[in-house]
Structure 1
Amino acid sequence: MENAMSECQTLSDIEEIKKLKARYCRFVDTRNWEGLRGLFADDARSTLGGDDQSVEEFVSLAREWLGDSTSVHSVSMPEIEITGPETARGIWGMEDIVTFPSHLGEAPKGIHGWGHYKEEYRKVNNHWLIHRMDLQRLRLDPLEGGFPDN
């Protein structure tokens, strides 16, 4: 019976982490910066483009870089492993498209990218949070108008 209970808890934890990552994508795309910050542990770190940063730096840079763009982030194929009662790690396939405003008649500038998020999670106050996030891009293509200027 105890083994069935722990299996049930493992499956429940994995589902909660999937929901956490879904909210991450939605909050980035809807520019819900406060909500995005709330998905991370207080001492969380991220590595994007090779730069290690605090979660505050990450949210600030995302807000600044994305600006008035339109973005669509999608993650799939989660490989989630519960490593302890309050720790887990995961790898997600990702794809994103970011389009920046253009002048009338100009082709849109932006990016279309693919890669993987490698993450660590921690359960805090009975809620899963992102503790470490590393985006490793495999490919990054410009949109028809080229890469963005910013």
Structure 2
Amino acid sequence: MTAYQTLSDIEEIKKLKARYCRFVDTRNWPGLRGLFTDDARSTLGGEDQSADEFVSLAREWLGESTSVHSVCMPEIEIADPGTASGVWGMEDIVTFPSNPGEAPKGIHGWGHYQEEYRKVDNRWLIHRMALHRLRLDPLEGGFPDA
């Protein structure tokens, strides 16, 4: 594998993660599902689930909220031409609708995504994703109802 190919693959994985954040925040659920391999697994909050289950739970939990997800400081390792891994620093803010005069409920969190990627039909996809939160603060109105 050439240095050029390695750098090209890393850039493609960075774009994949950028799309992940954008699709979550814009509620593009079909687009989000398309970023995962067919047999992908995700672990959030200690729960292991398929990509379909993850997208369904995200859609249900985020509901009418407004969210902003940001990732940075990628540590991407290309293992071979078809597999890679990465760790990303993350920050998110999720605000839920509130009644007039009430402080919004929501969360402000920080942590790391640990991921594995697979190249399928010449396209990098998320094969395994785990979010490890380091800190989770409520917004002024408190944590959202679970």
Report the TM range for the smaller structure's normalisation. Answer: over 0.9
Q: Identity over aligned residues, as a percent?
A: 84
CA deviations on 1:67-97 (whole Å, 9 max, x unpaired) are: 0000000000000000111000000000000
1:27 corresponds to 2:27: no
Which structure 1 segments of 5+ residues have no match?
Answer: none
* In structure 2, C-alpha distance between the alignment counterparts of 1:119 and 1:105, rounded to whole Å: 41
Aligned residues: 146
CA deviations on 1:78-135 (whole Å, 9 max, x unpaired) are: 0000011100000000000000000000000000000000000000000000000000
**TM-score, normalisation: structure 2:** 0.99
**TM-score, normalisation: structure 1:** 0.97
* In structure 2, C-alpha distance between the alignment counterparts of 1:146 and 1:103, rounded to whole Å: 14
- Which shows bigger deviation, 5-14 or 58-67? 5-14
Q: Which runs of 4+ in 1 moved over 2 A?
A: none
Larger Rg: 1
**2:117 match: secondary structure:** strand
Which structure 2 segments of 5+ residues have no match?
Answer: none
Where does residue 49 of structure 1 map in the other structure?
45
CA RMSD of aligned residues (A): 0.6
Where does residue 62 of structure 1 map in the other structure?
58
